[in-house]
Each structure stands twice: as structure tokens, then as C-alpha cells.
Chain A
Amino acid sequence: GAGVSQSPSNKVTEKGKDVELRCDPISGHTALYWYRQSLGQGLEFLIYFQGNSAPDKSGLPSDRFSAERTGGSVSTLTIQRTQQEDSAVYLCASSSSPGSTWDTQYFGPGTRLTVL
């Protein structure tokens, strides 16, 4: 079946502009995660959605970052007033059994964001 998909695959924007990144999780997966991978840095958690519960936003680096998940499926990560330090690969993952010891997260191909 289809895996996690993300769009666009690449995004180049000018400093100060807003961007929206999209994630389409695996069908039936209740949990959705956003991570960021910066050059020279490891992968860092941004935000987590599980069903209808309030999202865990503890990883968002600033209030310029926000995300929503509509209808328990597709998610959009929005970065307002982009800065050069926002340049990174943004990865989305989904899973079916969050909170269990056997839960596997499946990752999309990522969106490479470049802020000029």
C-alpha cells in the first residue's frame, strides 16, 4: 500500500515569507509526527498528533511554527516569517499503535526547505 507522502519535495522561499508543508500519512494510522533535520544536527521532534487529542507541541522551536491535522488524516506544518535558520529537511512520520512497545514509525521522503 501507499506509504507516507509529503509535498512539496523541495521548497525555496525568501526570508520573511510564510510556507506550508503537507503530509499525507498511511491510511488508518492514528498518530502523526513532524521532525526536522538540519545540516549538522540530528533529527529533532517538532509536534505529535494522536487521534482527536490535543497535539503535543513541545518540540516547536518558536511561535512562528504551527501545525494542524484535519479530519484525522492530512497534516499541514506552517512556518510564518521564515528565517534562514529554518532551512532544513522536514520529515513526517505516522504510526498505528502509539504508546505500545511495538509501535513502528514510518517516515515520508521529506520536504527540503531552503530560505534565502
Chain B
Amino acid sequence: KQEVTQIPAALSVPEGENLVLNCSFTDSAIYNLQWFRQDPGKGLTSLLLIQSSQREQTSGRLNASLDKSSGRSTLYIAASQPGDSATYLCAVNQAGTALIFGKGTTLSVSS
């Protein structure tokens, strides 16, 4: 059974720092991996999707990598800003249907 783990559960950094969020999964047979952002009381916003054949994707200050063989993905946020404060969720699509989520990393960026 696929399990997705995110470390750390919470992270506090000062504005301007570069940071890395980690996601690991137990079964490497995946279609893709998505990173989402969730603001308090809100739904999920898709940040990046990495297909199983890809190694990384970039969008602005965000860069996500995927190492399928080791079951790991990282989300790199450059030059963090207070507006980046949110919960970041990692999810794998294993069967082309439902996503399996980690429990998220709650990020707080102080000014």
C-alpha cells in the first residue's frame, strides 16, 4: 500500500531564506507527483506536477525534483516571502486516478 510522508511537519524561517520541503513515498510505480499549497480554510492550489518520466519542474521561485527510484521528491522555495506561508502538500498518482496525500508541511515565513 502506497504511503506518502512529508518532513518536516512544520517549518519556520525568516524572510529571504531558501528552503527545502521533503516528500517520500514507498512505491515507486507512480504516474506523477503533485505539489499543492493550502491556505487556512481554503482549498488546494496546484503548484507543480512532475510526470513519472521527469526529474524536475520549475515555476517562478519554486523548483520540484523527483527521484522515483529512491521514492523521494523535494520542493525548493527560493527567497521565501511572508506570502509563502501556507501548508504544502505532496501527492502521488499511482493508478491514474485518485491521489494519495502526505500530511503536509506547514510553513511560516516571518518578515
Contact B96 A110 (CB under 8 A): no
Contact B34 A104 (CB under 8 A): yes
Q: Tell me, yes or no, whether A103 is within 8 Å of chain B by CB.
A: yes
For the complex formed, measure the closest distance between the CB of A62 and the CB atoms of chain B, giving whole angstroms. Answer: 18
Whether, in the assembled complex, B32 has its beta carbon less than 8 Å from a beta carbon of chain A, the answer is: yes
Where chain B touches its partner, the secondary structure class is strand
The interface on chain B, measured as residues whose beta carbon lies within 8 A of the other chain's beta carbons, has a size of 27
Task: Kindly state whether residue B18 has any CB partner on chain A within 8 Å.
Answer: no
Instruction: Report A's interface with B, CB cutoff 8 A.
Output: 4, 31, 33, 35, 41-45, 48, 50, 56, 59, 91, 93, 98-110, 112
Q: Determine if A101 and B52 form an interchain contact, defined as CB atoms under 8 angstroms apart.
A: yes
- Kindly list chain B residues whose C-beta atoms are within 8 Å of the C-beta of A4: 43
A48 neighbours in B (Cβ, 8 Å): 97-98
